[in-house]
Amino acid sequence: MARLIFRASRFRPHREAAGAPSSAIPVTCHRPIHVMARFLSDVYRDPTIRVSMLAIFAFGFAGAATSPYQSVIGIRELGLSNTLYSALIFAAAAVNVTVSILLGNLADRLGEYRALMLTVTVFGIFGYGAVYLVPAQATFIISGLLLLPVYNALNSLLFANVRARTSRMPRGEVAAVNSGVRAMISLSWVVVPGLVGVVLSRSTSMLPAYLFASLACTACLGLIALFLPRQRGTDKAATHHLSYLAALAEVVSPRVFLRVIAVSLISSTLHVNGAILPLIVTGPAHATVGDVGILVGIVAFLEVVFIVVWGRAQRIMSHVTALAIGTIIYVVYLVLLGFASAAWHVYALTIISGIGAAALISIPITYLQDLIAERPGLGSALISVNIFVSAGLSALLFAIGTTVSGYSGTAIIGALAGLIGLALLLSFDGTKRAR
């Protein structure tokens, strides 16, 4: 099958292979199939990229199996207070950001990522496994505060590994590969939460979700250990070594951090939507909790499709231009969500939501990596920084929105924050690619 795909791609017009705009190429009814076939052929031909995609699916599997049920397990089954649980989540995110930066810098110094990925994956096996085997408050806190934040650094390490591998590829190809890798996380969220919910629907406890996550980490460990090609650290090490304090200083330097803030304001719209969508669906839209699950599944599926489309689009436009278009689409979605008053309104918005969300979860990856392009590990650690800052901003926006307005008003406030982030981004880089 791969050989047939490769042969089919050889008959592609030469202008397309060079990244020419699609308007310069005759359109046929088979073109979408050809585009997808070529993308898959390019991605799966390289074993490092192929194994990294499978590993990040396993990583996403662990998160998708536990995240929807984490609060239920921590608060209802193990008896944590709401305040303690909230503090634990915030502290865990802060630990993850710090660990991601330190390990990213260490990986750049070593010039290879495989050993560190194996190490942090072991933290995930024990972190999830401990909660399942010893279900107690102390275990949940230790795992959530120490073991799992270290494991979650695997996300940025996997993207750093892919980035190091694609460092000599054209800009558009790098974006396409990053989009394909990111799509695997969305794919896990399409499949896993519903599957776990069905399997545990008759169970009196959701703790087996942590067992499934531990098994996913074990599969991830096997993929990296057995199939990921070994690297020669001396060939890939950063030319100039940074101390850990210097690495942190580079991350918080005005040139980098102001751009991270701009991207985080844009990304915060995703978190705001995650908080208010169930409340609007079951409130002003007069739908049910079941509709929430269906809507999330539909949008996750659309994300998988349109992440690939956005990756393709970045071959003919800059990251900033693509992100600006995606932001505007998602802002429009949030504004319309604020006016939704019936279930069909929200269902009709899933297409707009899927298109915009696909841009906002995939394009920032390459943009952030380019901010520290010469250090794939440290540059990829900015992904974790963006997640942390955007989650904090969204919490602030939610608090402000629900204080001065209702949930519908909060959607519009979130949209305004996205526009502010876009304005900052355009003021810094315009339509040029950040260096």
Name the token pair of 106: 């260490």
Residue 215 CB-density burial (10 A; 0-12 exposed, 13-18 middle, 19+ buried): middle
Name the token pair of 313: 């689009």
Contact 366, 163 (CB under 8 A): no
Residues 112-128, mean pLDDT to the nearest whole number: 96
Sign of the torsion formed by the C-alpha atoms of 122, 124, 126 and 129: negative
Q: Which residues contact 1 (CB under 8 A, 6 or more apart)?
A: none
Contact 121, 58 (CB under 8 A): no
Share of the chain above pLDDT 90, in %: 58
Q: Annotate 333-368 with DSSP letters as a single string.
A: HHHHHHT--SHHHHHHTHHHHHHHHHHHHHHHHHHH
Residues 316-335, mean pLDDT to the nearest whole number: 95
pLDDT digits (tens, 9 = 90+) for 185-232: 989 988 898 888 888 888 888 999 999 999 999 999 999 999 998 876
DSSP class of residue 24?
Answer: G
Please count the residues of the chain.
Answer: 435
Longest dimension (CA), the chain: 63
Q: Say whether pLDDT at 138 is over 60.
A: yes
Q: Say whether pLDDT at 46 is over 90.
A: no
Least Cα distance to 322 among 260, 259, 364, 265 occurs for: 364
Residues 349-360, mean pLDDT to the nearest whole number: 96
Share of the chain above pLDDT 70, in %: 86
Residues 166-188, mean pLDDT to the nearest whole number: 85
Q: Which residue has the tokens 């997808």?
A: 36
Number of Cβ within 10 Å of residue 124's Cβ equals 28
With residue 107 as reference, give the H or E element that holds it.
helix 82-110
3-state secondary structure of 228: coil
Lowest mean pLDDT among 12-16, 49-53, 125-129, 268-272: 12-16
One-letter amino acid of 401: G
| Highest mean pLDDT of the ranges 245-249, 283-287, 331-335 | 331-335
pLDDT digits (tens, 9 = 90+) for 61-105: 999 999 888 888 998 899 999 889 888 988 999 999 999 999 999
Domains delineated in the chain: 1-9+29-233 (1.20.1250.20), 241-435 (1.20.1250.20)
Least Cα distance to 272 among 412, 85, 119, 67 occurs for: 412
pTM for the whole thing?
0.82
